[in-house]
Structure 1
Amino acid sequence: MQSDKRALLCAAHALEKKASDVRLLDVRKLSSLTDYLLIATGRSDRQVQAIAEGVRLGLKQEHQSLPLAVEGMNEGRWVLIDYGDVMVHVFQPTVRDFYDLDGLWREAPELEIPAEYHWERKADAR
């Protein structure tokens, strides 16, 4: 699977679990570690865990794609899912603010996530 497709699928699965402030950053020109970073927020430890598990299970069940590593699932404050070409970061709001990956990678172009994936936009349209 191409890395941009995997990144968009990760975003779609995170948004299915009501992740907020989801950003998909193209870091190919800035990092040799990965191609894309997905940064998302959950309101509680349970929601962070549910978002991360939704991404992991969605890619496993639909595309037989397994992560290389998953960190932080037990605590649910910051979960990292490493697919090699895509790294998914799911944070609680205060942890996201503290580590400021958005600021650290501010030079990275942001990929547009299709509007139909965004639960916030669907709710606004009603």
Structure 2
Amino acid sequence: MAVTPFELARIAAVAADDKKAKDILVLDLSDQTDVCDYFVICTGDNARMADSIVDEIREKIRKNTGLSPLSTEGREGLKWILVDYGSVVVHVFQPEVRDYYRLERLWEDAPRVDVGLEA
């Protein structure tokens, strides 16, 4: 099933929201870099929650698109888990690590995308 990068990012964001991720942010990087089209960034309160968010994202994307990630990194420590789908890269952080790396500030010129989540 063909899915656009935006649709993939939206599915990931909704899945993260379903697992009560906080501060979900989708950045459109399509005009900023050739690495990917979208970053989905979110926070889980602790290791168990971050792991659960990643599982939900992977499951919802597989169920809705048939896609599996190209790679998943960071599941050992669960402080920053990166799930790479090529056109979309999902970052699931624990709060202190997100505050430290501040990806949204690094990519502050990238447009924030509304994917229809409740505020």
TM bucket (normalised to shorter chain) is over 0.9
* Structure 1 position 78, deviation (Å): 0.6
TM superposition shift of 1:63: 1.7
Match of 2:59 in 1: 57
One of 34, 37, 40 as aligned partner of 1:38 = 40
Distance in 2, Cα, partners of 1:70 & 1:34 = 15
With normalisation by structure 1, the TM-score equals 0.89
Alignment-derived partner of residue 79 in structure 2 = 77
Between structures 1 and 2, the one with greater helix share: 1
1:112 — aligned with what?
114
Task: Give 5+ residue unaligned stretches, structure 2.
Answer: none
Q: TM (normalized to structure 2)?
A: 0.95
Identity of matched residues, %: 36
Offset from partner CA, 1:7-52 (integer Å, 9 cap, x none):
1011000110000000000001111100000000000001011101
Distance 2:76 2:58 in 1: 15
The root-mean-square deviation of aligned C-alpha atoms, in Å, is 0.9
Q: Structure 1: which 5+ residue stretches go unaligned?
A: 122-126
Runs of 4+ in 1 over 3 A off after TM superposition: none
TM-aligned CA deviation for residue 61 of structure 1: 2.0
